[in-house]
Amino acid sequence: MDGVRQSPGVEGGAQPGDGLSAVLVDDHPVVRAGLRAMLSEDPKIRVVAEAADGKAALDVVARLVTEGLRPDLVLMDLQMGEGMDGVAATRQLRQQCPGLPVLILTTYDTEADILAAVEAGASGYMLKDAAPEEIHRAVHDAAAGRTALAPAVAARLMGRMRDDSTSLSTREVELLELLATGLSNQQIARQLFISVATVKTHLVHIYQKLGADNRTAAVRVASERGIIRA
């Protein structure tokens, strides 16, 4: 198992206009099988290749392109056990193949994940608990160049905009991430090239915004709300 697999019949050729050709990237065989089955319900969608991690995805897409079989979109998982991360793969894919839509399909809807994916150039963000119809629609939307966001994801992004009292500044999120790694105020200060006093100031603000009364609770709340990744 090399992590790359082309579906049989790829060589048949992908005439433009005869449907959408998609590449699946997910480290779980079960999920790939599920997506394949789910997408096969839509006659307009064809899965032309699969990959089990980011690196393999880049390879297989490159191979398809050199063969003149440029896919219409990539369905990408974010969390992949080994090998290249989904965000990194998305970023590189967007560099190698500008215009190739990457639709993220993952389990988690943390703020950090979503923002990272959007920043990396993802054209959509769906959750795995979505119904088949939603996924079909998202695939068509993404392939057509439209943005496809799951309701929960859109809501979270909206929530980030409006609620001022709960929204952390970028600096605060940055600090929070270091906090989650177990660093002391001293270490955080050194890491960010600021004084311990500043760290404490930020922490107080973070506690207020998250409704926590100590660092561990803050990390927990942030993790639950999806502000940082567990």
Q: How far apart (Å, rounded) are the C-alpha atoms in residues 120 and 17? A: 28
Does the footprint of DNA cover residue 198 (CB under 7 A)? yes
Among 40, 107, 201, 230, binds DNA (CB under 7 A): 201
Among 195, 211, 224, 230, binds DNA (CB under 7 A): 195
Q: Binding pattern to DNA, positions 151-190, x when CB under 7 A?
A: -------------x----xxxx-----------xxx--x-
Q: Is 169 left (phi over 0), alpha (psi -120 to 50) or beta?
A: beta
Q: Binding pattern to DNA, positions 22-41, x when CB under 7 A?
A: --------------------
Element (H, E) at 153: helix 151-162
Nearest residue (CB) to DNA, 59 versus 177 = 177
Does the footprint of DNA cover residue 144 (CB under 7 A)? no
Q: How far apart (Å, rounded) are the C-alpha atoms in residues 126 and 26? A: 14
Nearest residue (CB) to its own copies, 117 versus 221 = 221
**Length of the chain (residues):** 230
Nearest residue (CB) to its own copies, 115 versus 212 = 212
Q: Which residues bind its own copies (CB under 8 A)?
A: 1, 27-38, 81, 105, 107, 128-132, 135, 179-184, 212, 214-221, 223, 230
In the list its own copies, DNA, none, the entry touching 152 (Cβ below 5 to 8 angstroms by class) is: none
Q: Which of 96, 53, 94, 45 is nearest to 72 (CA)?
A: 45
The string of DSSP codes covering 33-65 is HHHHHHHHTSTTEEEEEEESSHHHHHHHHHHHH
In the list DNA, its own copies, none, the entry touching 198 (Cβ below 5 to 8 angstroms by class) is: DNA
**Core vs surface per residue 127-161: b (16+ CB within 10 A) or e:** bbebeeeebbbbbbbbbeeeebbbeebeebeeeee
User: Residue 50 phi/psi, 5° resolution?
Assistant: -140, 155
**From the CB of 224, what's the least distance to DNA, in Å?**
17
Q: How far apart (Å, rounded) are the C-alpha atoms in residues 224 and 227? A: 8
In the complex, which residues of this chain contact DNA (CB under 7 A)? 164, 169-172, 184-186, 189, 192, 194-198, 200-204, 207, 213-215
